[in-house]
Amino acid sequence: MALASALDDLSRFRTNNSRASQETFQKHASTVLKSYTKLGDDGWVALEQVFLAAVDLGRLDKADECLNLLSERFPGSQRVDVLQGIRMEATEPPELVLQFYDQLLEADSANAAIWKRKISVLRRTNKIDKAVDELSQFVDTFYTDVDGWLELADIYSSCNQYTQALQALSHVLLLAAQNPFYFQQFAETAYTAGDLPLALKYHLIVVDMCERELDDAKNTRPTGLAVRAWMGVKLCSRQIILNSTPSASGTAIPKSINALEQLATERVLAAYSSKDAGRDVVVKWAGS
Protein backbone atom coordinates (compact mmCIF):
# COMPACT_ATOMS: atom_id res chain seq x y z
CA MET A 1 0.00 0.00 0.00
CA ALA A 2 2.78 2.40 0.92
CA LEU A 3 4.64 1.53 -2.27
CA ALA A 4 1.59 2.15 -4.47
CA SER A 5 0.97 5.46 -2.72
CA ALA A 6 4.59 6.48 -3.25
CA LEU A 7 4.42 5.67 -6.96
CA ASP A 8 1.18 7.61 -7.40
CA ASP A 9 2.48 10.68 -5.57
CA LEU A 10 5.85 10.72 -7.31
CA SER A 11 4.21 10.28 -10.71
CA ARG A 12 1.88 13.18 -9.94
CA PHE A 13 4.80 15.38 -8.91
CA ARG A 14 6.58 14.62 -12.18
CA THR A 15 3.45 15.36 -14.19
CA ASN A 16 3.09 18.72 -12.44
CA ASN A 17 6.81 19.43 -12.82
CA SER A 18 7.04 19.85 -9.05
CA ARG A 19 9.82 18.72 -6.73
CA ALA A 20 7.50 18.72 -3.67
CA SER A 21 10.67 18.01 -1.73
CA GLN A 22 9.28 17.90 1.78
CA GLU A 23 6.42 15.55 0.95
CA THR A 24 8.62 13.40 -1.28
CA PHE A 25 11.25 12.93 1.39
CA GLN A 26 9.15 12.69 4.52
CA LYS A 27 6.48 10.39 3.11
CA HIS A 28 8.30 8.29 0.55
CA ALA A 29 12.09 8.29 0.98
CA SER A 30 12.28 5.23 3.21
CA THR A 31 9.78 3.31 1.07
CA VAL A 32 11.64 4.03 -2.15
CA LEU A 33 15.05 3.17 -0.69
CA LYS A 34 13.73 -0.15 0.60
CA SER A 35 11.70 -1.16 -2.45
CA TYR A 36 13.21 0.50 -5.53
CA THR A 37 14.36 -2.88 -6.90
CA LYS A 38 10.72 -4.00 -7.11
CA LEU A 39 9.72 -1.11 -9.35
CA GLY A 40 11.74 -1.74 -12.48
CA ASP A 41 12.64 1.43 -14.37
CA ASP A 42 10.26 3.44 -12.20
CA GLY A 43 12.45 2.63 -9.22
CA TRP A 44 15.41 4.53 -10.64
CA VAL A 45 13.26 7.53 -11.47
CA ALA A 46 11.90 7.46 -7.92
CA LEU A 47 15.44 7.31 -6.53
CA GLU A 48 16.31 10.42 -8.52
CA GLN A 49 13.32 12.25 -7.09
CA VAL A 50 14.24 11.24 -3.55
CA PHE A 51 17.82 12.36 -4.21
CA LEU A 52 16.71 15.84 -5.27
CA ALA A 53 14.33 16.10 -2.32
CA ALA A 54 17.10 15.06 0.07
CA VAL A 55 19.46 17.70 -1.33
CA ASP A 56 16.76 20.36 -1.03
CA LEU A 57 16.19 19.46 2.62
CA GLY A 58 19.86 19.13 3.51
CA ARG A 59 19.65 15.37 4.11
CA LEU A 60 22.88 14.74 2.29
CA ASP A 61 23.32 11.30 3.86
CA LYS A 62 20.22 10.05 2.07
CA ALA A 63 21.16 11.98 -1.06
CA ASP A 64 24.52 10.19 -1.12
CA GLU A 65 22.79 6.85 -0.64
CA CYS A 66 20.56 7.48 -3.66
CA LEU A 67 23.43 8.83 -5.75
CA ASN A 68 25.62 5.80 -5.03
CA LEU A 69 22.86 3.43 -6.11
CA LEU A 70 22.27 5.39 -9.32
CA SER A 71 26.00 5.62 -10.08
CA GLU A 72 26.43 1.88 -9.68
CA ARG A 73 23.48 1.16 -11.95
CA PHE A 74 24.30 3.77 -14.61
CA PRO A 75 28.07 4.32 -14.72
CA GLY A 76 29.07 7.12 -17.09
CA SER A 77 25.50 8.36 -17.45
CA GLN A 78 25.16 12.05 -18.31
CA ARG A 79 22.04 12.19 -16.19
CA VAL A 80 23.93 10.87 -13.18
CA ASP A 81 26.72 13.38 -13.92
CA VAL A 82 24.14 16.14 -13.50
CA LEU A 83 23.09 14.68 -10.15
CA GLN A 84 26.73 14.48 -9.10
CA GLY A 85 27.12 18.15 -9.96
CA ILE A 86 24.03 19.07 -7.96
CA ARG A 87 25.42 17.15 -5.00
CA MET A 88 28.73 19.02 -5.30
CA GLU A 89 26.91 22.35 -5.44
CA ALA A 90 25.50 21.62 -2.00
CA THR A 91 28.89 21.45 -0.24
CA GLU A 92 31.80 22.21 -2.56
CA PRO A 93 33.27 25.62 -3.51
CA PRO A 94 31.78 27.04 -6.73
CA GLU A 95 35.20 27.01 -8.40
CA LEU A 96 35.46 23.25 -7.91
CA VAL A 97 31.94 22.70 -9.23
CA LEU A 98 32.64 24.83 -12.31
CA GLN A 99 35.82 22.87 -12.92
CA PHE A 100 33.81 19.63 -12.78
CA TYR A 101 31.29 21.00 -15.28
CA ASP A 102 34.04 22.29 -17.58
CA GLN A 103 35.64 18.85 -17.66
CA LEU A 104 32.35 17.27 -18.66
CA LEU A 105 31.76 19.91 -21.34
CA GLU A 106 35.23 19.35 -22.76
CA ALA A 107 34.30 15.71 -23.20
CA ASP A 108 30.90 16.57 -24.70
CA SER A 109 30.25 20.20 -25.64
CA ALA A 110 26.63 19.33 -26.52
CA ASN A 111 25.74 18.27 -22.98
CA ALA A 112 22.88 20.72 -22.51
CA ALA A 113 22.01 19.70 -18.96
CA ILE A 114 25.55 20.24 -17.69
CA TRP A 115 25.80 23.52 -19.58
CA LYS A 116 22.66 24.74 -17.83
CA ARG A 117 24.03 23.75 -14.43
CA LYS A 118 27.21 25.69 -15.16
CA ILE A 119 25.19 28.78 -16.09
CA SER A 120 23.16 28.39 -12.91
CA VAL A 121 26.31 28.35 -10.77
CA LEU A 122 27.73 31.39 -12.57
CA ARG A 123 24.57 33.36 -11.98
CA ARG A 124 24.24 32.26 -8.37
CA THR A 125 27.80 33.38 -7.66
CA ASN A 126 27.07 36.78 -9.27
CA LYS A 127 29.32 36.21 -12.28
CA ILE A 128 26.66 37.78 -14.44
CA ASP A 129 28.81 38.69 -17.45
CA LYS A 130 30.10 35.13 -17.71
CA ALA A 131 26.60 33.75 -17.23
CA VAL A 132 25.29 35.92 -20.07
CA ASP A 133 28.17 34.89 -22.34
CA GLU A 134 27.60 31.21 -21.63
CA LEU A 135 23.83 31.50 -21.98
CA SER A 136 24.15 33.39 -25.26
CA GLN A 137 26.32 30.60 -26.61
CA PHE A 138 23.88 28.04 -25.24
CA VAL A 139 20.80 29.46 -27.00
CA ASP A 140 22.83 29.90 -30.16
CA THR A 141 23.60 26.18 -30.00
CA PHE A 142 20.19 25.04 -28.75
CA TYR A 143 17.96 27.66 -30.34
CA THR A 144 14.69 25.88 -29.57
CA ASP A 145 15.36 25.75 -25.81
CA VAL A 146 12.63 28.08 -24.53
CA ASP A 147 13.86 27.90 -20.94
CA GLY A 148 17.27 29.13 -22.05
CA TRP A 149 15.78 32.21 -23.72
CA LEU A 150 13.58 32.87 -20.68
CA GLU A 151 16.60 32.66 -18.40
CA LEU A 152 18.51 35.08 -20.62
CA ALA A 153 15.58 37.51 -20.58
CA ASP A 154 15.36 37.22 -16.80
CA ILE A 155 19.05 38.00 -16.36
CA TYR A 156 18.79 41.06 -18.61
CA SER A 157 15.70 42.26 -16.74
CA SER A 158 17.44 41.84 -13.39
CA CYS A 159 20.19 44.11 -14.74
CA ASN A 160 17.66 46.69 -16.03
CA GLN A 161 18.65 45.89 -19.61
CA TYR A 162 15.09 45.72 -20.89
CA THR A 163 15.84 46.15 -24.58
CA GLN A 164 17.98 43.02 -24.50
CA ALA A 165 15.34 41.26 -22.40
CA LEU A 166 12.71 42.03 -25.04
CA GLN A 167 14.99 40.71 -27.75
CA ALA A 168 15.38 37.44 -25.86
CA LEU A 169 11.64 37.22 -25.24
CA SER A 170 10.93 37.79 -28.93
CA HIS A 171 12.60 34.43 -29.60
CA VAL A 172 10.40 32.84 -26.93
CA LEU A 173 7.31 34.15 -28.73
CA LEU A 174 8.48 32.58 -31.97
CA LEU A 175 9.15 29.24 -30.30
CA ALA A 176 6.03 29.13 -28.13
CA ALA A 177 3.54 31.19 -30.07
CA GLN A 178 0.51 29.54 -28.43
CA ASN A 179 1.44 30.42 -24.85
CA PRO A 180 -0.30 33.64 -23.73
CA PHE A 181 1.75 33.84 -20.53
CA TYR A 182 4.90 34.53 -22.54
CA PHE A 183 3.12 37.30 -24.44
CA GLN A 184 2.03 38.75 -21.11
CA GLN A 185 5.63 38.65 -19.89
CA PHE A 186 6.71 40.47 -23.05
CA ALA A 187 3.99 43.11 -22.51
CA GLU A 188 4.98 43.71 -18.90
CA THR A 189 8.67 43.91 -19.80
CA ALA A 190 7.86 46.48 -22.50
CA TYR A 191 5.88 48.45 -19.91
CA THR A 192 8.81 48.40 -17.51
CA ALA A 193 11.06 49.55 -20.35
CA GLY A 194 8.77 52.55 -20.85
CA ASP A 195 7.55 51.54 -24.31
CA LEU A 196 3.84 51.97 -23.57
CA PRO A 197 2.52 51.54 -27.15
CA LEU A 198 4.43 48.26 -27.47
CA ALA A 199 3.18 47.10 -24.07
CA LEU A 200 -0.39 48.01 -25.04
CA LYS A 201 -0.12 46.08 -28.29
CA TYR A 202 0.98 42.90 -26.55
CA HIS A 203 -1.55 43.20 -23.73
CA LEU A 204 -4.21 43.31 -26.46
CA ILE A 205 -2.70 40.21 -28.06
CA VAL A 206 -3.04 38.41 -24.73
CA VAL A 207 -6.66 39.51 -24.46
CA ASP A 208 -7.32 38.11 -27.93
CA MET A 209 -5.58 34.83 -27.12
CA CYS A 210 -7.60 34.42 -23.92
CA GLU A 211 -11.00 35.42 -25.30
CA ARG A 212 -11.00 34.51 -28.99
CA GLU A 213 -12.76 31.18 -28.39
CA LEU A 214 -15.59 32.71 -26.34
CA ASP A 215 -19.00 32.81 -28.00
CA ASP A 216 -19.85 36.19 -26.47
CA ALA A 217 -16.64 37.67 -25.10
CA LYS A 218 -18.14 41.12 -24.55
CA ASN A 219 -20.72 39.76 -22.10
CA THR A 220 -18.52 37.11 -20.52
CA ARG A 221 -16.81 37.95 -17.26
CA PRO A 222 -13.00 38.02 -17.70
CA THR A 223 -11.10 35.48 -15.65
CA GLY A 224 -7.53 34.41 -15.03
CA LEU A 225 -4.88 35.87 -17.29
CA ALA A 226 -7.46 37.88 -19.22
CA VAL A 227 -8.06 40.05 -16.14
CA ARG A 228 -4.38 40.82 -15.86
CA ALA A 229 -4.16 41.61 -19.56
CA TRP A 230 -7.16 43.96 -19.42
CA MET A 231 -5.57 45.72 -16.44
CA GLY A 232 -2.47 46.15 -18.58
CA VAL A 233 -4.56 47.62 -21.40
CA LYS A 234 -6.19 50.02 -18.94
CA LEU A 235 -2.88 51.07 -17.40
CA CYS A 236 -1.09 51.58 -20.71
CA SER A 237 -3.91 53.39 -22.48
CA ARG A 238 -4.49 55.70 -19.52
CA GLN A 239 -0.84 56.69 -19.34
CA ILE A 240 -0.63 57.18 -23.10
CA ILE A 241 -3.63 59.53 -22.95
CA LEU A 242 -2.14 61.52 -20.08
CA ASN A 243 1.40 61.69 -21.40
CA SER A 244 2.01 60.38 -24.88
CA THR A 245 5.68 59.56 -25.42
CA PRO A 246 7.34 58.19 -28.56
CA SER A 247 7.64 54.43 -28.77
CA ALA A 248 11.24 53.21 -28.77
CA SER A 249 10.13 50.36 -31.02
CA GLY A 250 8.18 52.63 -33.35
CA THR A 251 4.87 51.03 -32.38
CA ALA A 252 1.91 53.17 -33.40
CA ILE A 253 -0.65 54.39 -30.87
CA PRO A 254 -4.20 53.24 -31.72
CA LYS A 255 -6.39 56.09 -33.00
CA SER A 256 -9.22 54.89 -30.77
CA ILE A 257 -7.11 55.05 -27.62
CA ASN A 258 -9.83 56.78 -25.57
CA ALA A 259 -12.46 54.21 -26.50
CA LEU A 260 -9.96 51.46 -25.77
CA GLU A 261 -9.28 52.88 -22.32
CA GLN A 262 -13.01 52.98 -21.61
CA LEU A 263 -13.47 49.40 -22.80
CA ALA A 264 -10.61 48.23 -20.61
CA THR A 265 -12.20 49.95 -17.62
CA GLU A 266 -15.50 48.18 -18.28
CA ARG A 267 -13.81 44.79 -18.67
CA VAL A 268 -11.76 45.17 -15.50
CA LEU A 269 -14.83 46.15 -13.49
CA ALA A 270 -16.78 43.27 -15.02
CA ALA A 271 -14.20 40.90 -13.58
CA TYR A 272 -15.19 41.92 -10.05
CA SER A 273 -18.71 41.43 -8.79
CA SER A 274 -20.05 43.47 -5.88
CA LYS A 275 -19.32 40.53 -3.57
CA ASP A 276 -15.67 40.23 -4.52
CA ALA A 277 -13.13 41.24 -1.91
CA GLY A 278 -11.12 44.16 -3.19
CA ARG A 279 -13.75 45.50 -5.59
CA ASP A 280 -13.70 48.93 -3.96
CA VAL A 281 -9.95 49.12 -4.51
CA VAL A 282 -10.33 48.13 -8.16
CA VAL A 283 -13.12 50.66 -8.73
CA LYS A 284 -10.97 53.40 -7.23
CA TRP A 285 -7.98 52.33 -9.34
CA ALA A 286 -10.01 52.14 -12.54
CA GLY A 287 -11.40 55.62 -11.97
CA SER A 288 -8.05 57.24 -11.27
Angle at 278 between CA 273 and CA 281, to 5 degrees: 105
Average pLDDT estimate for 159-183: 98
- What value does the mean pLDDT of the chain take? 92
State pLDDT tens for residues 197-209.
999 999 999 999 9
pTM for the structure as a whole: 0.88
pLDDT at 278 over 60: yes
Q: What is the DSSP secondary-structure string of the chain? A: -HHHHHHHHHHHHHHTT---HHHHHHHHHHHHHHHGGGSTHHHHHHHHHHHHHHHHTT-HHHHHHHHHHHHHHSTT-HHHHHHHHHHHHHHS-HHHHHHHHHHHHHH-TT-HHHHHHHHHHHHHTT-HHHHHHHHHHHHHHSTT-HHHHHHHHHHHHHTT-HHHHHHHHHHHHHHTTT-HHHHHHHHHHHHHHT-HHHHHHHHHHHHHHHHTT-TTGGGSPP-THHHHHHHHHHHHHHHHHHS----TT-PPPPTTHHHHHHHHHHHHHHTS-TTSTTHHHHHHHHT-
Query: So what's the pLDDT on residue 6?
Result: 81
Q: How far apart are CA 92 and CA 89, in angstroms?
A: 6
State pLDDT tens for residues 54-108.
999 999 999 999 999 999 999 989 999 999 999 999 999 999 999 999 999 999 9
pLDDT at 274 over 70: no
User: At the top level of CATH, which class does the domain 92-177 belong to?
Assistant: mainly alpha
State pLDDT tens for residues 191-247.
999 999 999 999 999 999 999 887 776 778 888 999 999 999 999 999 999 987 889
pLDDT at 270 over 90: no
Domain boundaries, the chain: 1-84, 92-177, 188-288
